[in-house]
Amino acid sequence: MKLAIITTAVAISSTVIAAWVLAAALRHSVFFYTADGYMSPRTAVRVGLMKDEEASFSGGLAFRKTGGSGYDYREEMATAFIDRTGHTDIDLLAECKRLGDCELRK
């Protein structure tokens, strides 16, 4: 009886963890798929969205305009599945045009 309870608890826990990881990966992927643009780590540092010491470990930032004002952005790296989406009122499209090293999708 105890073995059945332990086996069931492990199976349920494993399923919940797998679902959480899948949901985080999907949320992250959808953000990057719907982003208005992408900026390199160097550009993100110059704009002030990333610290210089973080740039060497980052894949850059994806960003999209919000319904109100400003932009939401996410870092492209493994911890992005854990880190929350950031928000800034800096005009990232204008900064990308000014600084370069960005990929605008829309």
List Cα–Cα distances, 17 to 4, 8, 10, 40, 80, in angstroms: 20, 14, 11, 32, 17
Counted domains in the chain: 1
Give CA 16 to chain center in angstroms. Answer: 22
Token digits of residue 103? 């990929």
pLDDT band at 82 (very low <50, low <70, confident <90, very high): low
Q: Beta strand 86-88 with 71-75: parallel, antiparallel or unpaired?
A: antiparallel
Q: Residue 69 belongs to what domain range?
A: 2-104
Please tell me the distance from the alpha carbon of residue 8 to that of residue 53, in angstroms, as a whole number.
45
Task: Express each pLDDT in 84-104 by its tens digit.
Answer: 788 999 999 999 999 888 988
Q: Select the more confidently predicted residue: 26 or 47.
A: 47
- Would the pTM of this model clear 0.75, i.e. be above it? no
